[in-house]
Amino acid sequence: MGRCELYLPNSLQCISLQNVECSSEWLYGLLIKLSSLDHPVTCMMWDVVFQSTEISNEDDSHIHISDMRSKLCSSGMSNIKTLVVNGNIGLFELLRETSTRILSLRTAECASLASAILHTLNRLTKLF
């Protein structure tokens, strides 16, 4: 909930989020942290679900989601390989207009949901 307070080692090469319920703010924070690493990182997301505004207390947060979105879009996500299994429209909207270069979609449903944002991924070089 809230902001991402994970302290990640600089040597991290892979992170797997499995059956995670979090706020969009938390996931924005995690992706921003991963983008600050100076080497390739794989981020696997299996069944990531966003909490509703009431549960995540986003109204109490001093960081606006739009500011975090701007920061993520301006950060270099080119080193993050993103793998999505059982995604949802909210997750793909979060990835809209980012600079991710590699996106792996593991189900036909993910591919259908992602199709709405694929044209916004201007640096996408590999789609699985």
How far apart, in Å, are the Cα atoms of 14 and each of 53, 76, 97? 29, 17, 23
For residue 68, tell me if it sits in a domain: yes
> Is 85 inside a domain boundary?
yes
Query: Total structural domains in the chain?
Result: 1
Residue 103 falls inside a structural domain = yes
Residue 5 lies in a domain: no
Q: Residue 111 domain-assigned?
A: yes
Asked whether residue 6 is domain-assigned, the answer is: no
What is the Cα–Cα distance from 15 to 34, expressed in whole angstroms? 9
Please determine, for residue 61, whether its predicted confidence score (pLDDT) is greater than 70: no
| pLDDT tens-digit readout, 63-122 | 578 888 888 888 878 899 999 999 899 999 999 999 999 999 999 999 999 999 999 998
pTM greater than 0.75 (yes/no): yes
Range of the domain at 28: 14-53+64-127
